[in-house]
Amino acid sequence: MATPRESSGDAPLIRFLRSRGVKDSRVLDAMGRISRARFLPTNEQDQAHEDKAIGIGCDQTISQPFIVAVMSIELALTGTERVLEVGTGSGYQTAILAQLANDVFTVERHRMLSLRSRGILDGLGFTNISFRIGDGTLGWPEAAPFDRAIITAAAPIVPISIFKQLREGGHMVLPLGDAETQHLTVVRKREGKMVTQTGIACRFVPLIGEQGWNEPKA
Ligand code: SAH
């Protein structure tokens, strides 16, 4: 677990999340210590407190804060876990995970986004995050097994490589569905088998890779 350095925090966002019924105090504290604006492009920073996805370049978005809260709660982190994150994006969700888990391994397919988020997260003083540029649908075999995994892009199927890299008794959280709408889904590994639980509807940018969607044609 890590505590960010010199962050101004995010009180308005926490008030909003509470008003939406978010009660988990560890997740609220972790989100309250980080300023979401820091992860946005300069011209979008005034929108940091709106509960919507915002463009961060490369056609990608920073997730809605309410969804970040729900996914973080579903991961049920206690501070000891090794977590795989697919879709580093802005690095905002990564910053929340790094405060709630022991180690975070985050994969992003866009080099520019990975490098940018790394700069921000290093600047906040996090030392328990490892970054990789590549196809996260294949997981991170050298760092497995993981206690938890989170995919922050819309998956058409449960990526089997990631499931295999989960420890027995572990679970992953992902938006599962078609390109337009998905449902936040928890997939547990029980005696080697998948046990799936479907949650709220959501909308993410597509997960693109070997066990995701095909690369869009230019
Ligand atoms: N959690 C991020 C969400 C970013 S959007 C945030 O709040 O900022 C989803 C990200 O997943 C995008 O940056 C996209 O480039 C990335 N992505 C899509 N498919 C991927 C894959 N196969 N491997 C790694 N990253 C992927």
Q: Tell me the pLDDT tens digit for each residue of 67-92.
A: 999 999 999 999 999 999 999 999 99
List, in sequence order, every beta strand (DSSP E) within the chain. Answer: 54-57, 60-62, 82-86, 103-108, 129-133, 146-151, 166-177, 182-190, 193-202
Domain count, the chain: 1
Residue 1 within a domain: no
Residue 195 within a domain: yes
Q: Is the pLDDT of residue 32 over 60?
A: yes
The residue to mutate among 109, 202, 203, having the most atoms of ligand 1 within 8 angstroms of its beta carbon, is: 109
Q: How far apart are CA 204 and CA 160, in angstroms?
A: 20
Would you please indicate which residues are annotated as catalytic (active-site) residues?
A: 63
Q: Which atom of ligand 1 is nearest to the CA of 113?
A: 13
pLDDT higher at 58 or 155:
155
Residue 214 within a domain: no
Peptide bond into 145 cis (omega under 30): yes
- Report the CATH number that the domain containing residue 127 is assigned in CATH: 3.40.50.150
Residue type, 199: G
Contact between 37 and 53 (Cβ < 8 Å): no
Please give the average per-residue pLDDT across 203-208, as a whole number: 96
Q: How many CB atoms lie within 10 A of CB 81?
A: 20
Determine the distance separating the centroid of ligand 1 and the alpha carbon of 153, expressed in angstroms: 5
Residue 188 within a domain: yes
Residue 210 within a domain: no
Domain enclosing residue 95, as ranges: 11-202
Determine the distance separating the centroid of ligand 1 and the alpha carbon of 80, expressed in angstroms: 25
Residue type, 91: G
| Coil/strand/helix, residue 82 | strand
Residue 208 within a domain: no
Percentage of the chain beyond pLDDT 70 is: 99
Q: Is the pLDDT of residue 6 over 60?
A: no
